[in-house]
Amino acid sequence: MIKIEGLCKKYGDKVALNNLNVQINDGEIFGLIGHNGAGKSTTIKTLVSVINSDSGKIFIDNKSLSENRNEIKKSIGYVSDTPDLFLKLPVKSYWDFISKVFEINDEDKESRIEELKKVFSIDEKFDCTIEELSHGMRQKVFIVGALISNPKIWILDEPMTGLDPQSSFNLKKLMREHTRKGNIVLFSTHVLEVAEALCDRICILKEGKVLFVGTLEELKSKNIGETLEDIYLKMISEEGAISE
């Protein structure tokens, strides 16, 4: 379980997160929904310790992130919204590096990489560096890197961006299989159709504030006869908030 309590973050005078309170349960796909600048990536970067919040607390399986950061990091697989890290590294070196960080033995590493390469239709031997790849292929490389250790918690920031339709379909299938085992998948998107097809619950953000947390059925029950797109656009144009 992930529990976020009173999370706040500013960049200068801009409020990125404004008293964010969210709980993400084991066994669910949880979607962060919102326009660019809504606070999705800031929330995710705080969860994976890329940045620190100004105030508030995060608990993973009842352990404080601030007090157990290194231990908790090993339970998280993270895909950034911009696949531009480690660009000078050859692909294989990047995967080897990730495997060492997560203390994966060579046999398990190779088995896991081969399995994921098949899932994402990666045929290249990858003697090239990451920067030589297309955006979509970079995305596949970083997704594979995030999943090599088979972590309990997957945190994916706009993970479908750049993926071909088959790879996108396969990733969604993996997400469902992962949560059926009692694990967590947290991902961000601004594509409402993806959220509707995948998520057990969603959180709609606007300017760092929570407008809604709950299931899509709960959201639609409050807006009978309206499409998800209509509901979403209406909500972000209003100041009111709806929650469970």
Strand segments (E) across the chain: 2-11, 14-24, 29-33, 55-60, 63-64, 76-79, 153-157, 184-189, 201-206, 209-214
Grouped pLDDT means (10 residues each) for the chain, 244 residues: 96 94 97 92 95 96 95 94 83 94 94 93 81 90 94 95 92 96 95 90 94 92 85 78 45
Q: What is the pLDDT of residues 54-88, one digit of tens each?
A: 999 999 999 999 999 999 999 999 999 886 778 99
pLDDT value, residue 242 = 44
> Beta 184-189 vs 153-157: how paired, if at all?
parallel
pLDDT value, residue 83 = 67
15: left (phi over 0), alpha (psi -120 to 50) or beta: beta
